[in-house]
Amino acid sequence: MDREIEMDWPAIAERFRQLYVPAVCDVLDRYGLRHQYLDHGIKPLDVRHRLAGPAFTILGGPNASTDTKQRIGPRVIDSFEPGVVAVYETLGDETTGVWGELWSAGAAQRGCVGAVVDGGIRDTAFIRTANFPIFYRFACPADAVGRFSVIDYRCPVSVGGVRVHPGDYVFGDEDGVAIIPAAITMEVLVQAEEVRTTEDRIRGEISADKSLADLYREFGRF
């Protein structure tokens, strides 16, 4: 994560958590970024969780080696910074639970606020009990040792059909996960807050028995 300009990430994350992903996607559409949401196969372990923070990217792939000297997974955990969201590309692996209870515990201890895994997780009951926010593609009981290993981290990855760079902003809720390019994170946040305010007003007017079509025209939603 680029920290040349210090940001109040906890405050920014709290503002995002007051929003909802569709509002953010509406704003991204204005920038011509119409496919910044991950595909529908990536889902939350707990639909009550909202996930917000800069991306800490991880790339991994199939690897049958059991040589612990060549396995850099623990180094990844030790590199997490407070407030980040782990974003894990697995190169389409379908045989491994690449993220489990111990990774969740280690990540949380380092201040990582959640994870997006384009692949398998395991120990799901423990992760749920620990209240660690995670979005994932499938559950799989198989351990990574002898099947899979980390290749690189803090590198560009492709997750759920979206290219993600370190520091891009990750926002997820039960509707899905949006990736906001780092350079426009604050612009998108402010505009999404305006979308929420407008939609709150429309909801109030609907309750007052006004025509939705008229309200859409009034508030420029067409």
> According to the model, what pLDDT value does residue 75 have?
86
- Residues 133-165: pLDDT tens digits? 999 999 999 999 899 999 999 999 999 999 999
C-alpha angle with apex 89: 41 to 28, nearest 5 degrees?
Answer: 65
> According to the model, what pLDDT value does residue 72 have?
79
Segment 20-49 shows an average pLDDT of 97
In three-state secondary structure terms, 54 is: strand
> According to the model, what pLDDT value does residue 67 have?
76
Architecture of the domain made up of 9-182: 3-Layer(bba) Sandwich (3.50)
- Helix 21-30 to helix 185-207 angle (10° resolution) is 120
The single-letter DSSP state of residue 82 is T
Q: pLDDT at residue 92 above 70?
A: yes
Q: How are beta strands 134-139 and 114-121 bridged, if at all?
A: parallel
> According to the model, what pLDDT value does residue 27 have?
98
The one-letter amino acid code at 59 reads L
Across the chain, what does the average pLDDT equal? 91
Name which residue leads in pLDDT, 78 or 222: 78
Q: What residue spans define the domains of the chain?
A: 9-182
